[in-house]
Structure 1
Amino acid sequence: MELEKYLDETRLDVIVVAIDQNSQKRKNEYCPWENGAYSKQFLETDFPSFGGKGAKYIEFIVDELKPCIDAKYRTLENRTAMAGISMGSLITVYAACRYPKTFNYLILFSGAFYANQEKIEELVAGTNLSEIRSLYMDCGSSEAGRGTFISKEFLASNRAVYKAVKKKVPIADFKVQEGEEHHYRSFKKRVPKLFTFLNNEVL
Structure 2
Amino acid sequence: MKQSIHLLLLVIIISSQIITAQEVKSEFPPYTQIVTKHTELKYIISKNVDDTFYVYIRLPKHYSETEKRYPVLYLLDGDIAFNMATSIVRYLQYGKFVPDIITVGIGYGTMLSDHELNFRDRDYTPTKFPGREISGGAYRYLQFIKNELIPFIDSTYRTDSTDRTLNGYSLGGLFTLYSMLKEPDLFNKYIVGSPFIYRNLEDLLNLEDSLYESEGKLSGNLYITVGENESLEKYQDPISRFVKRLQGREYKNLNIYFETFENGQHLICPSEAMSYGLVYVFGKQTE
**Fold match (TM-score > 0.5):** yes
Which range moved further: 109-118 or 22-31? Answer: 22-31
Question: In percent, how many aligned pairs have the same letter?
Answer: 25
- CA RMSD in angstroms comes to 2.2
Q: How far apart in 2 are the matches of 1:9 and 1:186?
A: 17
Q: How far apart in 2 are the matches of 1:49 and 1:159?
A: 29
Matched, 1:155 2:236: yes
* Structure of larger gyration radius: 2
Q: How far apart in 2 are the matches of 1:83 and 1:168?
A: 23
1:133-186: CA deviation from partner (whole Å, max 9, x where unpaired): 22111101212xxxxxxx111200101111223326441111111211110x32
1:23-56: CA deviation from partner (whole Å, max 9, x where unpaired): 34212211011238xxxxxxxxxx4566311111
The residue correspondences of 1:165-184 to structure 2 (distance < 5 A) are 165-166=246-247, 167=249, 169=251, 170-183=254-267
Q: How far apart in 1 are the matches of 2:250 and 2:158?
A: 30
Which of 187, 192, 199 is 2:282 aligned to?
199
Higher normalized strand content (fraction of residues): 2
Q: How far apart in 2 are the matches of 1:5 and 1:90?
A: 24
The answer for the alignment partner of 1:141 in structure 2 is: 228
CA shift in 2, pair 1:186/1:133, >3 Å: closer
Which of 124, 141, 148 is 1:64 aligned to?
148
Q: How far apart in 1 are the matches of 2:162 and 2:245?
A: 23
Show structure 2 runs of 5+ residues with no match: 1-82, 94-98
The answer for the alignment partner of 2:135 in structure 1 is: 51
The answer for the alignment partner of 1:8 in structure 2 is: 90
Question: What TM-score comes out, normalization by structure 1 length?
Answer: 0.80
The answer for the alignment partner of 1:87 in structure 2 is: 171
Q: Is the 8 A contact 2:164 2:187 kept in 1?
A: yes
Deviation at 1:98, TM superposition (A): 1.8
Q: How far apart in 2 are the matches of 1:2 and 1:83?
A: 12
Question: What TM-score comes out, normalization by structure 2 length?
Answer: 0.58
Which range moved further: 101-110 or 24-33? Answer: 24-33
Structure 2 counterpart of 1:34, which letter? K
Structure 2 counterpart of 1:69, which letter? I
RCO higher in structure (CA 8 A, sep ≥6): 1
The answer for the alignment partner of 2:127 in structure 1 is: 33
Structure 1 counterpart of 2:101, which letter? V
Show structure 1 runs of 5+ residues with no match: 37-46, 144-150
The residue correspondences of 1:72-151 to structure 2 (distance < 5 A) are 72-127=156-211, 128=215, 130-143=217-230, 151=231
Q: Any idea what SS the aligned residue of 2:161 has?
A: coil
CA shift in 2, pair 1:52/1:5, >3 Å: closer
